[in-house]
Amino acid sequence: MAVKRSRQEEIVRELAHEIVGGRRPEGSLLPSDAELMARFGVSRTVLRETLKTLAAKGLIQPKTRVGTRVVERSNWNLFDPDMLRWHLDCGIGLELLSHLSDVRLALEPVAASLAAQRRGKTDVIALDAIVDRMAAPDASPEVFAAADLDFHLTIARLSGNPFFYKASALIEVALAATFAITTPVNNPEAKAASCAAHRRIVTAIAAGDGEAAAAAIVETIRSGAARVAAVARR
């Protein structure tokens, strides 16, 4: 059952879409508080909390006696998962997904290598079970995507480095966006290849081979990026 958004969340999303989508250019001023309150039918308190949220994400900057100005894109907080989703909602996320893949390639191979050094027997069993969920003949695209995410988050946790796990929000957004665009589940060969690649990661981690684990996870990231690029070309 979908969670119903609060009115404040709806307004945050609507204004964010206007800014990210370019309808409110960088450097422009938002309408006055009175205009926004009238437009959305909310109190000053709700509006202020809405604007605080957008400011915290680097989209706007309120100034006394000047108004609330849209901040330059170079100052936006792209590490914020909501910001990434808003880009994708506005249909300008394919290039951002490519950049996200670059970030994943910088982080996840190191996390996999550390996981190979620090894993326990039960950890390997857990990773194997996750790949089993992905490989199940009746796995729907949703089940496959959830298991894939669980797999990569588990490796981030097994790295033992809290910074890698904190970066998991980026992994989550990247995977969710990738599967929203294209999934290997509907192609038996692509699904088998994806599961085999994930199984190679498990095998390398079980053997304590950090180099092989890193190479195998690079393969999975590049495979997803290639599927997205193929969709973009079409």
pLDDT above 60 (res 1): no
Q: pLDDT grade, residue 96 (50/70/90)?
A: confident
With vertex at residue 179, the alpha carbon angle to CA 8 and CA 192, rounded to the nearest 5 degrees, is: 155
Higher pLDDT among residues 190 and 4, named by residue:
190
**Nearest Cα to 111, choosing from 185, 16, 234, 205?**
205
CATH 1.10.10.10 fits 7-75, yes or no: yes
Question: Hey, do 7-75 and 93-233 end up sharing a CATH topology, with the first three levels equal?
Answer: no
**pLDDT tens per residue, range 45-82:** 999 999 999 999 999 999 888 899 999 998 998 878 78
CA distance 135 to 141: 11
Q: What is the pTM of this model?
A: 0.75
pLDDT of 88? 79
What's the mean pLDDT in 145-173?
89
Q: Note the Cα 228 to chain centre separation in Å.
A: 14
Decide: 191 and 184 in contact? Cβ < 8 Å: yes
Q: Domain locations in the chain?
A: 7-75, 93-233
CATH number for the region 93-233 comes to: 1.20.120.530
CA distance 217 to 125: 18
The neighbour count for residue 75, using CB atoms within 10 Å, is 10
pLDDT above 80 (res 93): no
pLDDT of 3? 40
What token pair was written down for 211? 């180099």
